[in-house]
Amino acid sequence: MSIMILVTGGTFDKEYDELNGILYFKETHVPEILNHERCTVEADVRTLMMIDSLEMTDADREIILNYCRKCEEEKIVITHGTDTMEITARMLGKANIPKTIVLTGAMIPYKFGSSDGFFNLGSAIAFVETLPHGVYVVMNGRYFQWNNVRKNKKTGVFEEIG
């Protein structure tokens, strides 16, 4: 069983530009994290885009959808900004692909040393290995069905809608 990890950017992969004092994207840290965590799950990492999810367009989401459809793997983890994770999840969920797709992300950049990304990536990989076909958001140690999840803007945690 091999896992496909699709990288789209988000806080997870943001870096701090020391010269300009801003946060920006360079390249994904997912491979070095998997290596550092001694993760032995067979996984392929593919960067589709490196963007803030607030700037993700319908065209970007089409790229993600198409990649999920066409790739060989049946188990897919997508790293994604948390702000519009629920929108991408709904779009993918409606497409009804016969695969297990898990979206995850982080509130704190990996490079800041104490990111929640390690924990979230750990649970995302575990959930994608065990959950049945479907599209899920994995945050805060839990998984949510694509059609029943939202980010609570005040607390920053994910919750069921109803």
Residues in contact with a copy of itself by CB under 8 A are 11, 14, 16, 18-19, 21, 23, 33-34, 36-41, 52, 107-109, 111-114, 116, 118-127, 129-131, 138-143, 153-154, 156-159
Q: Which is nearer to a copy of itself, 88 or 120 (CB)?
A: 120
Give the position of tokens 């593919």.
46
Q: Which is nearer to a copy of itself, 16 or 95 (CB)?
A: 16
DSSP per-residue letters across 98-134: SSEEEEE--SS-GGGSS-THHHHHHHHHHHHHHSPSE
Give min distance, CB of 140 to a copy of itself, in A.
4
The SS3 call for residue 52 is coil
The SS3 call for residue 149 is coil
Closest among 82, 86, 126, 87 to 106, alpha carbons compared:
82
Give min distance, CB of 19 to a copy of itself, in A.
5
Give min distance, CB of 29 to a copy of itself, in A.
12
Q: Which is nearer to a copy of itself, 16 or 94 (CB)?
A: 16
